[in-house]
């Protein structure tokens, strides 16, 4: 009898095998296409008997949304079919399971890994937000892994919602549900931002901020007016802490906005690993080479540094081993040239001040120096020779690691780009644990 209950249904073009999970209205199976390709897919089977008016509308909206969206961080709907008993959604297969299982298997994630995952979630949310789509059920169980790539899944509660639209129907999972959904029963698209905050919190600390032993305890925490606090002794960066506390604000009117979220320095979508990373890097390198040939040293140095900010995520994004190694070699060459330019610019800068005869001349000399010129030379004597044999992480760390040493002693604006460069390289390359975890993905 039990075998009959859980026996997978028959589908014309697919062979359904193991059951991956089930919910109130649907069961998900791993399946193979019967054609020669033997393509692996996930099939979401929705029993018509379980559908009421609301769930039918949700299913139709889910199909409509997934049919129209194509994004590298959203699970793709390949097809949908139906018969007398069931409706079948044939979905992209994600072999890595869900984010919840990934977090549990490691207890907590290093901040760098959590940030990489957050960037991918933010990229998908930006795509949806631009199309007035709200997910409304964001949680680790609904985020799947395909290799090291995250994909938003289960759009069963998703809705088309303009920024001014409000809903009153309770949707989602209480542990990840924004307080306004539970307390006010009136909410808008900003509930997705709260859920992102809970997911990031859980990834970093191993539990959700409202983790409880019972539903009554959970409800009490949700309805409380106490601000969310990070665990005692939490070791996270300033940017990470700032983002968490702005996402997990109970009052949606005081919560970080979507525009602020997408441009937040911890999210840093501009430098997330993507197909565009290499394109941006190459464009900047071409400009750097041109300026270098024209003898504009400080401008060339600044452009090389900007290019390297994009080359690092490009290396992370590249999956082909040969192309990855080729990129590493290129990066090593660019770092070496940038190091040479930095020494030359420093020499020019020092000479210009030695030639100054009065304090007024010195002041005028400072005013004539571009920000790129100033920040590129402050670490003279701090950084050693860069061997072309160094890995990109070692080389870039040595090249960029001391750019911000004297940050507090000078005008912040002069150092903004150099500090950011050091910050990017440190956070992406210097954590050995990050590399080990990412290698497991």
* Cβ(240)–Cβ(111) below 8 Å: yes
Q: Is the dihedral of CA 256, 217, 153, 171 positive or negative?
A: negative
Q: Report d(CA 140, CA 155) in Å as an integer.
A: 13
* Cβ(177)–Cβ(222) below 8 Å: yes
Q: Report d(CA 130, CA 71) in Å as an integer.
A: 13
Helix axis angle, 392-400 to 321-354, nearest 10°: 20
Q: Report d(CA 162, CA 236) in Å as an integer.
A: 34
Contacts 24+ apart (CB under 8 A), 14-20: 14/41, 14/43, 14/90, 16/43, 16/45
Q: Report d(CA 184, CA 167) in Å as an integer.
A: 10
Query: What are the residues facing 80 on neighbouring strands?
Result: 89
Q: Which residue, 311, 429, 299, 309, is CA-closest to 376? A: 299
Q: Report d(CA 301, CA 288) in Å as an integer.
A: 7
Q: Which residue, 230, 172, 223, is CA-closest to 204? A: 230
Q: Report d(CA 230, CA 205) in Å as an integer.
A: 9
Q: Is the dihedral of CA 190, 195, 199, 202 positive or negative?
A: positive
Q: Report d(CA 237, CA 251) in Å as an integer.
A: 24
So which residues are the catalytic ones? 137
DSSP count for the chain of H helices, then E strands: 17, 9
Strands 86-92 and 77-82: antiparallel
Q: Which residue, 191, 79, 99, 210, is CA-closest to 144? A: 99
């Amino acid at each position: 009898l039990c075998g009959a209950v859980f026996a997978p249904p028959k589908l014309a073009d697919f062979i359904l095998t193991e059951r991956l999970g089930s919910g109130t209205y649907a069961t998900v199976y791993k399946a193979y296409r019967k054609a020669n390709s033997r393509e692996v897919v996930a099939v979401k089977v929705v029993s018509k008997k379980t559908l009421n008016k609301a769930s039918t509308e949700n299913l139709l909206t889910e199909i409509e949304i997934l049919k129209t969206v194509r994004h590298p961080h959203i699970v793709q709907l390949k097809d949908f079919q139906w018969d007398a008993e069931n409706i079948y959604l044939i979905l992209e297969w994600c072999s890595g399971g869900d984010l919840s299982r990934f977090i549990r298997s490691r207890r907590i994630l290093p901040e760098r890994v959590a940030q990489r995952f957050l960037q991918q979630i933010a990229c998908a949310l930006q795509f949806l937000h631009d199309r007035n789509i709200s997910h409304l059920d964001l949680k680790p169980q609904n985020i799947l892994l395909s290799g090291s790539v995250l994909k938003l899944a289960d759009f069963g509660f998703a809705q088309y919602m303009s920024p001014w639209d409000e809903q009153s129907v309770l949707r989602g999972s209480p542990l990840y549900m924004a307080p306004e959904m539970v307390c006010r029963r009136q909410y808008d698209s900003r509930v997705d931002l709260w859920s992102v905050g809970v997911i990031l919190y859980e990834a970093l600390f191993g539990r959700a901020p409202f983790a409880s032993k019972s539903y009554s305890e959970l409800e009490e925490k949700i309805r409380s007016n106490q601000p969310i606090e990070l665990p005692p002794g939490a070791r996270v960066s300033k940017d990470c802490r700032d983002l968490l506390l702005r996402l997990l604000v109970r009052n949606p009117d005081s919560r970080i906005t979507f525009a602020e979220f997408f441009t937040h320095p911890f999210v840093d979508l501009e430098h997330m690993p993507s197909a565009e990373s290499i394109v941006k890097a190459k464009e900047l390198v071409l400009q750097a080479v041109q300026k270098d040939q024209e003898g504009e040293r400080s401008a060339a140095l600044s452009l090389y540094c900007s290019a390297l900010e994009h080359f690092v995520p490009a290396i992370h994004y590249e999956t082909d081993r040969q192309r990855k190694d080729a990129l590493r070699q290129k990066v090593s060459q660019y770092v070496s040239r940038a190091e040479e330019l930095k020494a030359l610019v420093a020499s020019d800068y020092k000479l210009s001040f030695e030639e100054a005869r009065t304090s007024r001349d010195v002041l005028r000399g400072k005013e004539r120096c571009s920000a790129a010129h100033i920040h590129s030379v402050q670490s003279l004597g701090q950084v050693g020779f860069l061997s072309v044999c160094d890995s990109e992480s070692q080389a870039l760390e040595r090249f960029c690691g001391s750019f911000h040493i004297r940050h507090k002693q000078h005008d912040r604006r002069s150092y903004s780009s150099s500090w950011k460069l050091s910050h990017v390289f440190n956070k992406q390359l210097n954590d050995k644990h990050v590399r080990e975890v990412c290698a497991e993905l």
